[in-house]
């Protein structure tokens, strides 16, 4: 990792189906994987690069951001990795300079050598309509594009999803890495997806209770959901929604009147396609369209653990069941009450299967996705090679091999889902 001194910045250098495991096993695996990552880093992040990598060494195909941070503030940032304290900096892009604050973001990813960053702009001085930039490292991903592709697929499936793009980041004049910029679901996003004025809640429970369950008193929701806007208002809309869900006698009527059903089914279908197992009790946004429809929907977030990335470590798992994340088959982070209610209602379950079948024919196909992957590989390959030199990961040396792995996942997942949809339809028919 770059070392900041008073003079500036210098650089140093054919699987079997995987069973659902318990949350305890998840933590064991997480600890083992984290330990492995530390070994890959060869000790301190400060020793990751043996020679300087100048900013000019990278190509100019990607947007370039420049961040300037004092030695003192960078040292504070590195010393308090898990803190959300912000540090003053200067941000330059498109010939313009901004006064900003920066911190690390995420949870587990803060333990990686290359960490995700969040950049905050001054009020009324947004950057391209954004008050904050999320810069994710893609360090674990052998293909470097899983998160970007997952957001792309959600959007193609009709889900209001943040936009993304890879960017190059320089710190104090030197190439620091390639990051994925992910749009913050804030004012500009809401306007773009025609949800202007909507209330946005971030599900960020450390106890896996941001799963749309009835938590009782209004105050209990504050510990598990973070209000992204309308911060002067209470959480009673969320409290009422979760309570009414838990007590609904007519589930179909509840979904028809309280949930943006088409968009929610699109979200569940896309989640099945990309195999997103990390959203059931965290890592999503609940959005209430208070100004228009008075209905709720879900926006995806933190999609790095998708497209074959299994909680036990491998990147080639394509056989996680549709039912995963329900009460009958909880995942490593539990289950989601809203998903469970829909999945167990035959009429709604059929709609989900119908939508999945359509998307398997129209969006989640080799013809649609492979050209996108080929184009992205061409656009990022030179810069990612430099990134891998600065931030080596023994499990992710070859970008092309990694992208071939994603293509294989798409084919395997298509086969698995087609088979499971057929089996579920046959099971429904047999019960009649």
Q: What is the pTM of this model?
A: 0.87
Cβ neighbour number for residue 394 with a 10 Å cutoff: 11
SS3 132: strand
- Quick one: angle between helices 366-390 and 399-431, nearest 10? 140
Phi and psi of 218, rounded to 5°? -55, -40
The pLDDT tens digits along the chain (432 residues) read 343 333 333 333 333 333 333 333 333 334 434 434 433 332 333 333 333 444 444 455 899 999 999 999 999 999 999 999 999 999 999 999 999 999 999 999 999 999 999 999 999 999 999 999 999 999 999 999 999 999 999 999 999 999 999 999 999 999 999 999 999 999 999 999 999 999 999 999 999 999 999 999 999 999 999 999 999 999 999 999 999 999 999 999 999 999 999 999 999 999 999 999 999 999 999 999 999 999 999 999 999 999 999 999 889 999 999 999 999 999 999 999 999 999 999 999 999 999 999 999 999 999 999 999 999 999 999 999 999 999 999 989 899 999 999 999 999 999 999 999 999 999 876 666
Ramachandran class of 333: left when φ > 0, alpha when ψ lies in -120 to 50, beta otherwise: alpha
Alpha-carbon dihedral angle through residues 337, 300, 67, 379, given to the nearest 10 degrees: 150
Which SS3 state, helix, strand or coil, does residue 170 take? strand
Helices (H), 174-281: 187-192, 236-247, 251-258, 261-274
Please state, in angstroms and rounded to a whole number, the distance separating the CA atoms of residues 72 and 333: 38
The crossing angle, in degrees rounded to 10, of helices 399-431 and 261-274 is 120
Domain boundaries, the chain: 3-13+36-136+161-182, 195-363+408-431
Q: Kindly list the distances between the CA atom of residue 108 and the CA atoms of 116, 235, 257, 420, in Å, as whole numbers in the listed order.
A: 10, 28, 38, 32
Length of the chain, please? 432
What CA–CA distance (Å, rounded) separates 252 from 324? 21
Residues with Cβ within 8 Å of 240's Cβ and at least 6 positions away in sequence, in order, are none
Single out the residue of 80, 52, 63 nearest to residue 172, CA to CA: 52
């Amino acid at each position: 990792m770059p070392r900041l001194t008073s003079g500036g910045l210098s650089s140093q250098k054919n699987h079997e189906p995987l069973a659902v495991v318990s949350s305890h096993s998840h933590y064991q695996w997480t600890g083992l994987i984290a330990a492995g990552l530390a070994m890959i880093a060869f000790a301190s992040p400060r020793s990751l690069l043996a020679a300087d990598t100048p900013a000019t060494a990278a190509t100019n195909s990607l947007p370039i951001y420049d961040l300037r941070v004092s030695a003192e503030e960078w040292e504070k940032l590195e010393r308090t990795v898990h803190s959300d304290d912000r540090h003053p900096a200067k941000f330059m892009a498109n010939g313009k300079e901004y006064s900003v604050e920066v911190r690390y973001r995420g949870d587990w990813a803060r333990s990686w050598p290359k960490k995700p960053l969040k950049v905050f702009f001054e009020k009324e001085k947004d950057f391209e309509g954004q008050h904050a930039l999320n810069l994710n490292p893609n360090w674990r991903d052998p293909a470097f594009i899983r998160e970007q592709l997952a957001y792309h697929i959600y959007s193609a499936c009709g889900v209001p999803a943040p936009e993304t793009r890879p960017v190059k980041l320089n710190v104090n004049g030197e190439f620091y890495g390639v990051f994925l910029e992910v749009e913050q679901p804030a004012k500009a996003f809401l306007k773009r997806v025609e949800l202007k004025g909507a209330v946005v809640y971030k599900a960020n429970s450390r106890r896996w209770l941001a799963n749309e369950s009835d938590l009782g008193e209004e105050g209990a929701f504050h510990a598990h959901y973070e209000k992204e806007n309308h911060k002067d208002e209470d959480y009673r809309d969320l409290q009422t929604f979760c309570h009414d869900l838990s007590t609904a006698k007519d589930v179909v009527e509840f979904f028809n009147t309280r949930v943006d059903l088409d968009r929610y089914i699109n979200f569940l279908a896309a989640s099945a396609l990309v195999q997103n197992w990390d959203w059931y009790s965290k890592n999503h946004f609940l959005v209430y369209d208070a100004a228009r429809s008075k209905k709720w929907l879900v926006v995806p977030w933190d999609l790095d653990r998708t497209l074959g990335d299994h909680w036990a470590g491998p990147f080639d798992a394509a056989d996680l069941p549709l039912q995963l994340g329900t009460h009958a088959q909880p995942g490593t982070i539990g289950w989601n009450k809203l998903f469970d209610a829909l999945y167990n209602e035959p009429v709604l379950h059929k709609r989900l299967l119908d939508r999945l079948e359509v998307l398997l024919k129209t969006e989640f196909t080799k013809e649609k996705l492979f050209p996108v992957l080929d184009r992205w590989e061409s656009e990022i390959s030179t810069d990612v090679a430099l990134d891998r030199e600065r931030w080596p990961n023994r499990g992710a040396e070859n970008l092309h091999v990694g992208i071939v792995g994603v293509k294989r996942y798409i084919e395997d997942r298509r086969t698995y889902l087609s088979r499971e949809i057929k089996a579920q339809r046959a099971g429904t028919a047999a019960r009649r």
